[in-house]
Amino acid sequence: MLINKVDDLLARHAAFWHCRAVERPLVGVTRWSQFNLSQFDWGLPDEEGILRPEMLDVDHFLPQYEALFGDGGPFDDDLCWSAMPPKAIPWLEGALGCPIEYSLRAGSISARPILGDGPLELVPAPLADNSWFAKLLEFVHGLARLADGRFAVGLPLTRGPWDLVAALCGSSSLYLGLYDRPDELARLAGVCADFWIEANNHLSSAIPKWQGGNVAFLGIWAPTFDPMSQDDASASISQEFYRRIMGAADQRTARAWDSAIFHVHSAGLQITNEVLEWLDGRALNITLDPSGPPLDAILPILRGVQERRIPLHVLTADPAQARLLVEVLSPSGLAIMYQAIDPTAERDANSGFRVPRSLPAQARSTTIRAEP
């Protein structure tokens, strides 16, 4: 009976990718916090400084992942929970050569630009000799051993080519460069897109299947590898700039896998029409920003995505928004994730946002092993 219920839930995930008719959307409260630097004991020697890959002890983290799994099992309501390498770390930025600065006291971690206003030349280190990428793979392998089929292993956010350009150059240099040297920036974005695709190809081979598929950063099960790319850098540019300069690199990364997810923010929806032209069955994630447009201004865009039969994933930190979206949007091809800044405190405080369980309580903490 339990296995049948799990199969029924994953069938709903499969239906999501095809926008098939369903009774209700996939809805879940994720255990991952919005800013998960504070979600782990990092075991670092200092409160702040430059983070180097050898400072991260995978074995120090694994018991903490086990505790997170024990808090809810392999599912977060309708969504899947996946153990992923710490998502606060800008993994690909480090792999491209950016120093990674952290402050546990301030709860911040970021990549320091290395190109700035100088020549936009970048030759990434081969992945076989890349210490940051080796540490990312070490986390993946360690989590796979820990999971042993009980839960999914997924990827943290691997930022898209233009966000990598922004990290390499700095945001100010990027936006000025779009006017002063757009062709050079576009070539650099192409190098970053090549690197993104190569890195994810390696990761797709390292991550074990779970229940016959993969689980994305956002809790969606898919029959094939489902990385998520993003272009937060596009939030401050016009649709015309995006179409003329930025869109090509994003299209390459988003279309590299059939079950990919492309991420944008509600403050940057001016590029939506351009993106929808080339998603072609891949999913769009829209994160609702507290400082972005009000929800009533965004709803026509969300409905427009659904009318084009593009799978839509919405991430919000506002439980009232999550409840409203369940009520007003079509359930077909729709997933809604509520993410608290501090999930433990939010659950303890009983935020009022709870969804009908697809599985009984005992199923949420049961041991489910991967199919052979």
Q: Is 27 within a domain?
A: yes
Looking at residue 89, its pLDDT comes to: 95
pLDDT digits (tens, 9 = 90+) for 131-175: 999 999 999 999 999 999 999 999 887 889 999 999 999 999 999
What kind and span of H or E run contains 110? strand 108-111
CA distances 251 to 8, 162, 247, 276, 355, Å, are 33, 11, 6, 10, 34
Higher per-residue pLDDT: 369 or 27: 27
Average pLDDT over residues 9-22: 96
Average pLDDT over residues 276-292: 93
Element (H, E) at 153: strand 152-153
Q: Is residue 300 part of a domain?
A: yes
42: domain range?
2-364
| Rounded distance between C-alpha atoms, residue 363 and residue 6, angstroms | 8
Has residue 371 been placed in a domain? no
What tokens does 163 get?
Answer: 């966000």
* pTM of the model as a whole: 0.90
Query: Does residue 169 lie in a domain region?
Result: yes
- Region of poorest pLDDT, from 192-206, 275-289, 356-370: 356-370
Does 372 fall in a domain? no
pLDDT value at position 6? 86
Q: Taking residues 50-74, what's their average pLDDT? A: 97
| 181 pLDDT more than 60 | yes
Q: How many domains does the chain have?
A: 1
Residue pair 186/242 in contact (Cβ under 8 Å)? The answer is: no
We report the CATH number of the domain holding residue 307 as 3.20.20.210
Asked if residue 210 is part of any domain, the answer here is: yes
Return the pLDDT at 359: 34
Say if 346 falls within a structural domain: yes
Q: What are phi and psi of 132, to 5 degrees?
A: -70, -40
Cβ partners under 8 Å of residue 369, min gap 6: 148, 149, 150
Q: If you average pLDDT over every residue of the chain, what do you get?
A: 89
Query: Is residue 299 situated within a structural domain?
Result: yes
Percent of the chain at pLDDT exceeding 70? 90
The percentage of residues in the chain with a pLDDT greater than 90, rounded to a whole number, is: 79
5 confidence band (pLDDT: 50, 70, 90)? confident
